[in-house]
Structure 1
Amino acid sequence: MYGRKVKLRFLFVVIIFITLVLTVFLVLKSLEENVVYFQSPSEINSSIELNKSKIRVGGMVKKNSISINSNEINFIITDFKNEINVTFTGAVPNLFEEEKGVVAEGFLKDRNVLSASKILAKHDENYMPPEVKAALEDK
């Protein structure tokens, strides 16, 4: 009923569609393993189950909460409703300080303790590197 040319076009469209669906599936599957969800201390405190996957906790570093023991840094992240204690081994970013924004990535030991593998310091849109700020003040 259909000519050979029509059948080849239909087969070509079907192969392209299958390839597209397979590509989208593989991309989404690989992203599923690498996506780290951002949560606040309140969201962690109110969650019903404690999962063992890697998470990111964001908030402000509580004032007078930073303590440094040899190569381990302990501090508290707060969202002004709830708090979570963070332990981190390694070097922290230059912007890391009390009462500043921070994101800690790691694994929860329990609802109140996060063992961080990475610390990301946040800054506001008005941030200016110290060198540039000093150069502008000199003028």
Structure 2
Amino acid sequence: MTRKGKRLTLIIGALAVLGLAAGLMLFALRDNIIFFYTPSELAQKQVAPGARLRIGGLVKEGSVVKNGKDVAFTVTDKTKDLAVAYTGLLPDLFREGQGVVVDGLLQTDGKFKADSVLAKHDERYMPRDVADKLKQQGVWQGEKK
């Protein structure tokens, strides 16, 4: 085999290994690529307790209960609700009826223990993923850009 043939074989082999590695990574991360789940998707998926994930939706009206730094509220997509417990300071723009994404752990009792809470930053903004999922369900009718 000539020098060019050996080089070509080496390059093709390296590309095949890289392609295989990328394919295996995407296969292994297929459930974690999603930015967040809505409460309905979480119920359908039946995630095991102790799983770390993100939940997105709207803060249900009348569900926020504050006790010092401990806050309990409900995230809803107007189909399913999920009780969330959080300890810490909430973002200034956190309020009922607004979009929220919470990051944390699903507990054995079906409630969600949040480590962080992200609220939308102004009255017209809705994260694209949240807006798309709420639009699919016919819940959110925001402005079109």
Q: Which residue of 2 aligns with 1:5?
A: 3
Relative distance call for 1:44 and 1:92 in structure 2 (3 A) is same
In the alignment, does 2:111 pair up with 1:113?
A: yes
Which residue of the partner structure matches residue 87 of structure 1? 85
Aligned residue identity for 1:86: V
**2:110, 2:94 → 1: CA distance?**
21
Query: Within 5 A, what are the aligned runs for 1:39-78?
Result: 39-78=37-76
- The answer for unaligned runs of 5 or more in structure 1 is 128-139
Q: 1:18 to 1:49 in 2, by over 3 A?
A: closer
More strand by share: 1
Equivalent of 2:15, from 9, 14, 17? Answer: 17
Larger Rg: 1
Cα deviation code 1:10-59 (max 9, x no counterpart): 34424542563476368658967975651111222333453532111111
With normalisation by structure 2, the TM-score equals 0.66
Q: Percent identical across equivalent pairs?
A: 33
Distance 1:114 1:22 in 2: 36
CA distance in 1, matches of 2:22, 2:16: 10
Q: Which amino acid aligns with 1:13?
A: I
Q: Say which SS state the counterpart of residue 75 (structure 2) adopts.
A: strand
Show the counterpart of 2:96.
Answer: 98
Q: Which runs of 5+ in 2 are unaligned?
A: 126-145
Are 2:58 and 2:98, in contact at CA under 8 Å, matched by a contact in 1? yes
Aligned to 1:136: none
RMSD: 3.2
